[in-house]
Structure 1
């Protein structure tokens, strides 16, 4: 996947349970607050508050606990639409980040968890097919992850940066996945619908105000009148959710081939970090209270689950060194200020571990320190002790050389190494290698650039919901002198980010360019027309849905 006075639950913590649940946790994450400040009077607020206020109050007793996976009143389609509204705001937030190496690493951990949940029957086929299942990365140093309605999951760079192993990161993703598979989002909203809807709206408003101002007192004032109606029942309900997510998440984690000790390792890491530096930078700890009961329950479950060697599931191919590289990358990208970059460079010299070596090379490139970056790259390659780490080291070398290619001090042999590095990355480096190669393609010879562009186009056709790939393709096609296709790729990127109005604008712009240039490619014109009509239909449906609310 921010001490409170006596008897006054903190609205940013799990003990202030009116805001518990993945559907509403997103609204108090400060990296999302920027998007919600602008969108609150628009799409996101329209999607959330009136929809909740309009729900009927069921007659079920407040003590009823829904069955596992029971979503209460919220249907799958409604939850997906709610998630789309929130995700649309996230994509527009400046803190949203599509970093290809980190996305590949997260996906290598996520896919085995997703597959294990399906094998175990935790994830129903209908949920698997109708939810988005997208991981959204945020440039934020706080230790945080959260689930959103409709299968969206958010991960902060700060969380990746503090994890010591892929097992620890996988434990967080498994926990958040279980919140989704058990439909905790819908269950929480249904539970809150049993309370006064206007009180719930005030609570959400309070959370947004606190998130925007980073002041819990604002939220306390906003929701003080409604807390007494809902606190205790919501508190008990959310703790049941957390226990459920722990239990199911552990089973999914181990079924996917990860070590269940990752849960305890992450618990210990969060507890220690919060004790040493409780400055509000650990919201995951607050939204997921690590009570002694939960930790003891996890310790008791691990021996019963069996050691990794006792299972038939093969080990997940996420190496320790590759994870150390990616955790270091997250730390650098989370705080790219010059003083922090210099600190990474100093820490990575000498006999530093693999992660610090990686951070040194990347930070030196950001500082445009050619000599330091080249020296650090050699140490990174020396630390790569397996195939996955080797690919990460090669991708870093390509990235660093491209960042430094305009520097006069970069040796000629390093410039000449760009083309073969890019070709190899495009063929063997997965999505991360392909996107990094495409980013460097503009400065490469036309045959190399065009070949990389063709491979990227094939990737986009096979993965139409990949906005980062479409955006990179648009830049490559502009460099190739193909403005119509580049503008269409910009439209596809907007469509993948659920920005239907922006997509329609780009498709129509491509149609105008085609007419101005006298383009006679009937296939391209037909595709443009179909995509414009598709975006127009989606936009019309979105506006109609907003009017129905």
Structure 2
């Protein structure tokens, strides 16, 4: 029976992999109605989202980057608050869904909402936006798909499918973007088209997500002009995305009607939109562009700085070019060239608080790449030693002190890392960093527990079990010190929780 199910799951995944060619299917295919969302409960949708997210966390393209993570979260938080204030996001939905954003190294211009409140954002999307309002418009649109329960509504016609099978379909779609040739070979005609019609959002759902997202981002303080600007960029990126992927543009058909609707809404604004020169966004877009590249030729292309000499080159253009060139030179291990680009960047953004901070973080990254660990804490230290470090500075400083002798800085970093994971218990990168610092401090039991917590945050239940068992073994073989008894008790509890999650996952199969 298990073999038969695995075979069925494989077939469904392959069918899903062929769904990337949405444009090839007739546009008058039967699409799901809006429905009422009763086809799948909140609990079932969350479980389905958890299952998909577990696989995405294992994907080699999954990225944990403190700088980009902070930026996305900074845009995301006001949108969630706005949706709740408007009544779009109910307290129950806010409590029961994950509301987690995963970054992927994919270069396609893409973002997607998954069951259970998970969102995916490709670096290719961040790389093409020119203002934070444009990126916020995408996040607001995807947030609205979740708050309006469009995913549950779309699944209404799939009631006979188990969540496990539906999850396999969605994972197959996402996997198709890895191999355009393989996806094209798996096109199987009408069956794939039928499944596509079930998984895709209807046009009415798209209009609703546009309308609700527009209100959410406007009341969150973003310029709604970002919607129109983003639509234009998505149209331009259509050719770039035409690689067999399941891109944002394909799953969200951009009709002239939708663009006209956004423009009509903008005309109702009393204050005309002003041209924005977003220097910080240009630098972050350059970071996303370089980090999404994985070959020498692409990095070399990113070192080209000729655009700064164009007559119409803005301050944002200069900052983006120099930032991208610095990071690309670092990928190529040409640290002398990176230093020259970095100096140009620092001159360009001098006196601008947010861009200057990004330049300082990049200089710390440049120093760390050369093993100049002592320079990192000095660069990122606060003028007031008692002031808490922001998360990117904290992670970078913590990684540096691992290579330095014991100091007051290490002690302070350890304290702040503990505060970070207490405030954000699902911050896997912070847990891993804490584990490393605890290890060099000789605190083996807390370090092993932190490793287990990092695996729990990434939903790797078996990996967490391994680390918690290692912690138990250590506790049995060593004399426990003050505080270790509490850690050992926590480890026992978390181990039982991880084992229960594994049993639940196995039962679903």
Q: How does 1:81-230 map to 2 (within 5 A)?
A: 81-193=47-159, 207=173, 210-211=176-177, 213-214=179-180, 215-221=182-188, 224-225=190-191, 227=193
Contact kept? 1:500, 1:536, Cα under 8 Å: no
Structure 1 residue matching 2:402: 3-state secondary structure? helix
Mapped pair 1:532 → 2:492: yes
Would you say how many aligned residue pairs link Structure 1 and Structure 2?
477
Q: Any conservation in 1 of the 2:468–2:494 contact (CA below 8 Å)?
A: no
CA contact (8 A) 1:117 1:123 kept: yes
Post-superposition offset of 1:538: 4.1
Correspondent of 1:360 among 325, 338, 362:
325
Q: Which residue of 1 aligns with 2:290?
A: 332
1:482 equivalenced with 2:443 (yes/no): yes
Other-structure match for 1:456? 417
Structure 1 residues without counterparts, runs of 5 or longer: 1-9, 19-60, 311-317, 407-414
TM alignment of 1:252-291, pairs within 5 A: 252-275=216-239, 278-280=242-244, 283-291=247-255
SS at match of 2:268: helix
* CA deviation string 1:456-507 (max 9, x = no partner): 1221122111001001111222222322222111011011111222212211
The question of 1:432 aligning with 2:392 is answered: yes
Residues 161-208 of structure 1: CA distance to partner in whole angstroms, max 9, x if unpaired? Answer: 111111111111111000100011111111333899999899769747
Q: Distance in 1 between matches of 2:193 and 2:344?
A: 56
**Residues 238-249 of structure 1: matches in 2 within 5 Å?**
238-249=202-213
Residue 322 of structure 1 is matched in structure 2 by 280
Task: Pick which of 157-166 and 289-298 moved more.
Answer: 289-298
Task: State the SS of the aligned residue for 2:503.
Answer: helix
Match status 1:543 vs 2:507 = no
Equivalent-residue separation in structure 1 for 2:368 and 2:423 (angstroms): 27
Give CA-to-partner distance per residue, 1:217-256, whole Å, 9 cap, x none.
44431x634746x777887x61111111111111111111
The CA RMSD measured in Å over matched residues stands at 3.4
Mapped partners of 1:480, 1:293: distance in 2: 61
Contact 1:62 1:194 in 2 (8 A): no
Residue deviations 1:367-413 (CA, integer Å, cap 9, x gap)? 2223222222222222325322222122111111111236xxxxxxx
Corresponding residue SS for 2:38: coil
For the residue of structure 2 that corresponds to 1:346, the secondary structure is: coil
Residue 439 of structure 1, CA deviation:
1.3
Conserved 8 A contact 1:14-1:289:
no
The alpha-carbon deviation at position 548 of structure 1 amounts to 5.3
Q: Determine the C-alpha separation between the residues in 2 that align with 1:205 and 1:393.
A: 37
- 1:138 deviation in Å? 0.7
Contact 2:464 2:498 in 1 (8 A): no
> 1:132-181: per-residue Cα shift (whole Å, max 9, x none)?
11110111111111011111100111110111111111111111000100
Deviation at 1:284, TM superposition (A): 1.3
Q: Is residue 327–residue 338 contact of structure 2 (8 Å, CA) maintained in 1?
A: yes
SS of corresponding position for 1:443 = coil
Rounded to whole Å, the distance in 2 between the matches of 1:451 and 1:150 is 37
Question: 2-side partners of 1:270 and 1:536: how far apart?
Answer: 47
* Cα offset, 1:542, TM superposition: 4.3
Distance 1:202 1:443, change over 3 A: closer
Aligned counterpart, 1:493: 454
Residues 480, 548 of structure 1: alpha-carbon distance in 2 compared, 3 angstrom cutoff: closer
Query: Would the aligned equivalents of 2:461 and 2:498 in 1 still touch at CA under 8 Å?
Result: yes
Partner of 2:429: 468
Query: Contact (CA 8 Å) 2:176, 2:245: kept in 1 or not?
Result: no
CA distance in 2, matches of 1:542, 1:125: 29
User: Is 1:11 matched with 2:19?
Assistant: yes
C-alpha distance after superposition, 1:330-371 (max 9, x if no partner): 011000422222222232786561111111222222222232
Shift of 1:212: 5.9
In structure 2, relative to structure 1, the CA distance for the partners of 1:306 and 1:444 (3 Å cut) is farther
Task: Please tell me whether residue 371 in structure 1 is matched to residue 336 in structure 2.
Answer: yes
Q: Is 480-489 or 136-145 further displaced after alignment?
A: 480-489
Distance, in Å, in 2 between the alignment partners of 1:519 and 1:216 is 55
